[in-house]
Structure 1
Amino acid sequence: MTTPAQTESTEAPTTVVLTDVAAQKVKALIEQEGRDDLRLRVAVQPGGCSGLRYQLFFDERSLDGDVVTDFGGVEVVVDRMSAPYLGGATIDFADRIDAQGFTIDNPNAGNSCACGDSFS
């Protein structure tokens, strides 16, 4: 009896990944807002010193072509224009003496600026 060989996918993830720490922080911030209809929207816009700039904000809208991923009750939304730039990116939250806030580790970024706000 033979079994089919398992193959590993080498395709890049099609969505962002939200770490558990970041998901907890997003959930706490949404609770502070006192609304249950908000989701974390991650977008890429032209700007910054490297060409493209990340935007993270709370949004209640649903746009045509949005990619929505649930992370333990926290929905992350990426619009269809930003999705190719953000596939496989990891969003984390740092709370250290030298850094505080959301960070994005993006394998699609060829270059980034020194301040980490933009990429190309």
Structure 2
Amino acid sequence: MIQLSQAAKIEIERLKSKQQPNILVRLAVKPGGCSDLFYDMSFDEILQEGDRTFEVSGLQILIDNQSLQYVNGLVLDYSEDLMGGGFRFHNPQAVTTCSCGNSFSITQDFIVHS
């Protein structure tokens, strides 16, 4: 489904340590951004109807059913540069991406229906 680089795992664990003890990591894809869709990573206390939980590199990641079709094969990385640190999303389904690194578009051929 998705993979985390070691750097992404460390950064998520660091951010998670500043939250409530039982906080969950949520990954979603939403309409908008420079290239039709964008990634949204957040923390959530509640499992919503339609959420699926995946264990990725020892972390529990929530992904809603709507977003599942867009994240198959996604590799999440984290790196720091002169502009600061940030998550980098490497999605094999993306046919275009924005220079911001968070926005992308795909063709209907790549959508995986679950």
Bin of the TM-score, shorter chain as denominator length: 0.7 to 0.9
Question: Is 2:25 aligned against 1:37?
Answer: no
TM-score (normalised: structure 2): 0.81
- Report the CA distance between 1:99 and its aligned residue: 5.4
In structure 2, the gaps of 5 or more residues are 106-114
Structure-2 residue corresponding to 1:70: 55
Structure-2 separation of matches of 1:94 and 1:19:
10
For residue 65 of structure 2, the aligned residue among 47, 67, 80 is 80
Quote the offset at 1:72 in angstroms: 4.4
- Root-mean-square deviation (CA, aligned residues, Å) is 1.7
Structure 1: runs of 5 or more not aligned: 1-14
Q: Could you tell me which residue of structure 2 aligns to residue 52 of structure 1?
A: 37
Q: With the length of structure 1 as denominator, give the TM-score of the two structures.
A: 0.77
Equivalents in 1 of 2:75, 2:57: separation in Å? Answer: 15
Query: Computing the radius of gyration over CA atoms, which structure comes out larger, 1 or 2?
Result: 1
Residues 1:22 and 2:12 aligned together: no
Identity of aligned residues (%): 33
Higher strand fraction (1 or 2): 2
